[in-house]
Amino acid sequence: MAQELLRKSRAEKLREAAKRRKQEALRNQTKQNQTVARSNSDEQEKRPIAWGMYIWLMLVLLFSLGVGRVAYMSYQEYIDPQRVYGEWIETSAPEYDVDMFIISEQGVMINSRYVATSIRFDGDVVAFWFGDTQYEYQLFGEFDEKLRRVAGEGHSALFVKKGYEHTIPQDDSAGPARRRRVSLAEHFKAKE
């Protein structure tokens, strides 16, 4: 009988131990499931933030590229030498001593002869070499229709692009001296 009691108590202990192992395994399984569920919910919470950040970054990048493109195109238009191509006529000089020149893709032409085959234009100043002298003309006016000689031989002359002669204020009843004064006044007003 004692052996039978020992067997029963051992069997009970074994059943209880098995039951405890099952309960422990169930607890561990539940903890793992909860941990996985938490990590999944954390990832799901993080994903919208990550995607939102990527979308925001892409929008900023596209906007920056657009602004850069517009700025580049504007700069290219600003330094385009076609703005100065044309015939330029000196203003306020006596009719017998008016300087005229033509700027084109081929160069600068004075008196039907090319005196320079290349020009430099930075959007504000036109420059070319004639012999050993460099001539520089500053572009100004509401429609970029006027040039002022800032370097080179000769006096500081003003030129107007052909087709824009009407922008020069003239009083037909006034003599050459009056026209010269008006031109000089405009010259110094433009320097301000």
Query: Tell me, what amino acid is at 132?
Result: D
CA 79 remoteness from chain centre: 14
pLDDT, residue 25, reads: 84
Q: Which of 161, 139, 160, 162 is nearest to 150 (CA)?
A: 139
Question: At 175, is the pLDDT very low, low, confident or very high (cuts 50, 70, 90)?
Answer: low
Mean pLDDT, residues 27-45 taken together: 72
Task: Mention the CATH class of domain 81-191.
Answer: mainly beta
Q: What is the pTM of this model?
A: 0.54
Instruction: Compare 28 and 7 and report the one with higher pLDDT.
Output: 28
Mean pLDDT, residues 93-108 taken together: 84
d(CA 68, CA 73): 9
Strand partners, 90: 159
d(CA 54, CA 34): 30
Helix/strand/coil percent split, the chain, to 5: 55, 25, 25
SS3 assignment, position 111: coil
Q: Which of 129, 121, 172 is nearest to 147 (CA)?
A: 121
- Length of the chain in residues, anyone? 192
Strand partners, 135: 128
| Residue 189 scores a pLDDT above 70 | no
pLDDT, residue 70, reads: 93
d(CA 114, CA 48): 68
| Residue 32 scores a pLDDT above 90 | no
pLDDT, residue 190, reads: 61
| Residue 170 scores a pLDDT above 80 | no
Question: At 63, is the pLDDT very low, low, confident or very high (cuts 50, 70, 90)?
Answer: very high
Q: What is the mean pLDDT of the chain?
A: 80
Q: Which of 45-54, 93-102, 173-182 has the lowest mean pLDDT?
A: 173-182
Structural contact between residues 171 and 180, judged by C-beta atoms closer than 8 angstroms: no
Mean pLDDT, residues 16-32 taken together: 85
| Residue 69 scores a pLDDT above 90 | yes
pLDDT, residue 132, reads: 87
The continuous run of DSSP H or E covering 116 comes out as: strand 113-116
Domain locations along the chain: 1-78, 81-191
Ramachandran region, residue 128 (left: φ > 0; alpha: ψ -120 to 50; beta: rest): beta
Say what percent of the chain tops pLDDT 90: 8
| Residue 62 scores a pLDDT above 80 | yes
Q: Which two tokens stand for residue 58?
A: 């892409």
